[in-house]
Structure 1
Amino acid sequence: MWIFITLFAAACQSVRTAYQNTLARDAGLLHATMSRSLYGLPLVSLYLLACYFIFGWVSLPDNGVFWFAASICSIAQIMATYLMLRVFQSGSFALGTLLAKTEAVLAALIGLPLLHYTLTLGSWIGVALGVLGALVMSIKWNNLKLAHKDTSLIFGLGSGLCFAITSVSASMASHALNGSIITSAGVTLWYVLALQSIILCGIQIFKSRDALAPFRQSLGLSMKVGALSSLGSIAWFTGFALVNPALVKTLGQLEILGTLYYSKRRFAESISKQQWVGGAMILFSVILIVTSTIK
């Protein structure tokens, strides 16, 4: 089940990224980032209501683990996005992007002590191979000579770390609730998006001195980004709750292949031999992950 959920999440994220890039050019980076949470919240609210009627509600223990983990998840996702934007601004998009893809390995390492998940040898190889495939697809080898002078190294690796923290803390928050794991994942996602909306809308309103600023720019495109983001997030958070987040993020590397295909079809961009090799490595890593987890 988690495999199909993750594939759906990766597909939604590929299309959402294309729309979000357009929105960032039209309305600015802050609005494009904010639209993911604010405009995705209504659909997630309807999804959570459906979970209540189908799977039942959840109860909240008194230990505070949910509030802590879900809040960390929300802030970590904002920081991950911010650091990725810094990478883009630095001009080293490829190098920073590939470092952000280390999130699968980092999620596996962080998840060991916090989630007590274990991975088979085949799964570990698959996780490592998926990250290496993302590296091969993204990197421009000439950039390595100046890597020690490139601040995008820090921003990109920091983004990968924050994305890994997002995955692990989302899983922790969902498992801290008592009840259906599907509803628990929905509750976690709703809280994360609500907190992000409050934070990011507050920043946008403060900067523009306009209380309606989040609703004044590119409304139609913002709604598309929010809808796709909410669908993808529902699938991501459900996947994190069902299995080790490292496995979900490794399988989610297929998003890169979807993005390449989309860019080739829409923008007629050519795909290099290096990218084909990296794509083949990602596909093989997915095969390793799937065969190692299906028994």
Structure 2
Amino acid sequence: MEAWIVITICAAFLQNLRSALQKHLRSALGTTGASFVRFGYGFPIAIAYVTALHHFAGYPFPDLSVSFAVWSVIGGLAQIFATILLVYLFSLRNFAVGTAYSKTEPVQAAIFGLLLLGERLTPGAIGAIVVGVVGVMMISVARMPLSWRNLLVALTGRTALIGIASGAIFGISAVAYRSAALSLDGPNPVMQAAVTLACVTTFQTVFMLGWMLLKDPSEIGRVIRSWRSSSIVGLAGVTGSACWFTAMALQQVAYVRALGQIELLFTFASSYFVFRERINRMEAAGCTLIVTGILLLLMWK
């Protein structure tokens, strides 16, 4: 099995863990604070990770460039706003459905990858991604009585648009991160991904601290007081990001994000066992299509 596949599955599991913890934090913190903790408590770990790779693995630091800085800032800002939209989405729909809307990302990532990096997919891979997205759409309408009106609302309503926007911005972020990592003249993809992660999370922490100081300084105090649960979110978030960054340095973004839809399997498990949210037959069928799309992707890549 190729390394990027294993790394992506680990990333999806850790991302689901982080999102579940953020949903719990949403009751104690605002949307901005719950979004900030993944960066604010994660960046010291990212810096420690780079330092460990340098001192213990012997990887030299890559030379930074203007191109790296530009892509890192674009990716960092996009991830911040996409995360805020996703956390807000959890307050509008249940955990599984909220995550499902954002999982339209692979199609959008494929488009951005083509436009920005010139990355093309095989016809089989495109078909596999479409199968997975159809599964996502089935999950999004599973709680509504079947009718054309409800289908239209599900695909064009406020909740859907927020979720799709979140997926689009996550797609931009992923392509930007891959561009940043590839712009480094580094020793290997692991070190390139680690340096990108450390620089991006540090920038995101500074940016969001400034934002909270301007908009709601009291939120900073709440973030500090919740350090026990917030630090776990930061650890899960930065570890998952390290896996995502490494996978995207090894493989095209669209493939990585399409395989990353396996997160929805972990999401449904969390939704059922942790949040006690019931899963109906349509959601189960959508989940089956997502798994089918992933298997087809691995077969036809």
Q: CA deviation at 1:108?
A: 0.6
Alpha carbon RMSD of aligned pairs, Å? 2.3
Q: Which consecutive residues of structure 1, in runs of 5 or more, have no partner in the other structure?
A: none
Cα distance, 1:60–1:214 mapped onto 2, change above 3 Å:
farther
Superposition deviation, residue 189 in structure 1: 1.1
Selected match of 2:163 from 156, 165, 184: 156
Identity %: 33
2:26–2:87: 8 Å Cα contact kept in structure 1?
no
Counterparts of 1:2-21 in structure 2 under 5 Å? 2-21=4-23
Q: Provide closer, same or farther for how the CA distance between residues 77 and 260 of structure 1 changes in structure 2, counting only shifts above 3 A.
A: same
Q: Within 1, Cα distance between the matches of 2:220 and 2:34?
A: 15
2:37 maps to amino acid: S
1:176 aligned partner: 183
Task: Give the alignment partner of residue 32 of structure 1, picking from 5, 27, 34.
Answer: 34
Please state how far the C-alpha of 1:225 moved relative to its aligned partner.
Answer: 0.4
Pair 1:57-2:64 in alignment: no
SS in 1 for 2:199: helix
Deviation at 1:89, TM superposition (A): 5.4
Contact 1:137–1:279, Cα closer than 8 Å, also in 2: yes
Letter of the aligned partner of 1:60 in structure 2? L
- The equivalent residue for 2:117 is 115
Native 8 Å contact 1:44 1:230 kept in 2: yes
State the AA in 2 paired with 1:220. Answer: R
Contact 1:107–1:245 (Cα < 8 Å) also in 2: yes
- SS of the equivalent of 1:25 reads coil
Greater displacement, 149-158 / 12-21 = 149-158
Q: Which of residues 77, 80, 88 in structure 2 aligns to 1:78? A: 80
1:52 CA drift (Å): 2.1
* Aligned residue-pair number: 291
Report the CA distance shift for 1:215/1:87 in structure 2 as closer, same or farther (over 3 A): closer
Aligned to 1:127: 129
Match in the other structure for 2:249: 241
| TM-score, with length taken from structure 2 | 0.88
Q: Are residues 262 and 92 of structure 1, via their aligned partners in 2, closer, same or farther at CA, if it must alter by over 3 Å?
A: closer
Q: Indicate how the Cα distance of structure 1 residues 183 and 214 shifts in structure 2: closer, same or farther if over 3 A, else same.
A: farther
1: distance between equivalents of 2:201 and 2:36? 10
Number of the residue aligned with 1:144 = 151
Answering whether residue 278 of structure 2 is matched by residue 274 of structure 1, we say no
Equivalent-residue separation in structure 2 for 1:109 and 1:149 (angstroms): 20
CA change 1:287–1:92 in 2 (3 A) is: closer
Instruction: Look up the SS of the partner of 1:178 in the other structure.
Output: coil
Whether contact under 8 Å (1:205, 1:214) holds in the other structure is no
Give the C-alpha shift of residue 14 in structure 1: 1.3
Task: For 1:83, give the aligned amino acid.
Answer: L
1:166 aligns with 2:170: no
Partners in 1 of 2:124 and 2:24 — Cα distance? 39
Q: Give TM-score, length-normalised by structure 1.
A: 0.90
The residue matched to 1:26 in structure 2 has which SS? Answer: coil
- 1:252 is paired with a residue whose SS is helix
Partner-residue secondary structure (3-state), 1:118? coil
CA distance in 2 between counterparts of 1:49 and 1:134 reads 39
User: Could you list the per-position Cα deviations for residues 75-132 of structure 1 after superposition, in whole angstroms to 9, with x for gaps in the alignment?
Assistant: 1111212333454555698876544222100111111132232212221111111111
1:211 and 1:144 map into 2 onto residues whose CA distance is 38
Q: Deviations over 1:191-227 (max 9, x none)?
A: 2111111111122233444696365321100001000
CA distance in 2, matches of 1:133, 1:149: 17
Output the CA distance in 1 between the equivalents of 2:175 and 2:17. Answer: 24
Gaps of 5+ in 2: none
Aligned mates of 1:258, 1:215 — CA distance in 2: 27
Structure 1 residues 260-285: Cα deviation after superposition (integer angstroms, max 9, x where no partner): 11222234443211122111111111
Please report how far the alpha carbon of residue 184 of structure 1 lies from its aligned counterpart in structure 2 after TM superposition: 1.1
Task: Tell me how far apart the structure 2 counterparts of residues 171 and 261 of structure 1 sit (CA, whole Å).
Answer: 30
